[in-house]
Structure 1
């Protein structure tokens, strides 16, 4: 195997959780999530020659994965099941792992009701990205990222309340 391929596959393996999370944010159905996962990996491979190493691989990966998800979502003409999924934005430490999984499922359902940019904002927020990092990943100003994120968190909380998923 070529060295470039080995390095790429190692990076993908070390950061595959990012791809899975993006796929869950944008697609409700597990088969669609898998399709999106594969599409993201393919786009990362195509774009890999342009990765200069001036930022961390994971930072570059966020940008490619989110852009791919947005394009994939726009191409996908199927209606997303709006059956609500959500949980509090700040994911607390739950003693019962079943309860934690259930609340995460609610969060993902609620996120399905957000638009593509809002999903990206929440995803990056849940990945503990700073306002500056969010702005860089989305190509917007830091102030704009902060404002949009606050509005998106408020919108997500309203979706959670509307659907009766408050805990």
Structure 2
């Protein structure tokens, strides 16, 4: 099963996102990277990720305000690369700035989601995002997606 790549530099938001994805009962592994440079290293299998297993993530959850390289620059780099451009990217950010929103959509983000302030709302939003992109969304024609079982474990069915 393809992993979810979480690109987030705030440890608190990483923890909340992981809790939310767990509550959604997703079985995808989550790879956490802390900045834009590290995200591109993972995606292009270089530096500390040169030996990782081949393959693209099922989904990238990307913050805009990152150290070293912004999420917008990461998104721009992805959309220019033929092998990576079809990966769904969810901009999960605290920014409500119209310029960030407009630029993210111009660069080809899939959804732009402003992080809710309340824990319950944050968990709900991330759970819904994870379920939609990892389970329900149909990939573009010609892309491959492994057939997988229901997101519920056998005991819950």
> Given the two structures, how large is their TM-score scaled by the length of structure 1?
0.29
Higher helix content, 1 or 2: 1
**Bigger radius of gyration among the two:** 1
Structure with greater strand percent: 2
TM normalised by structure 2 equals 0.30
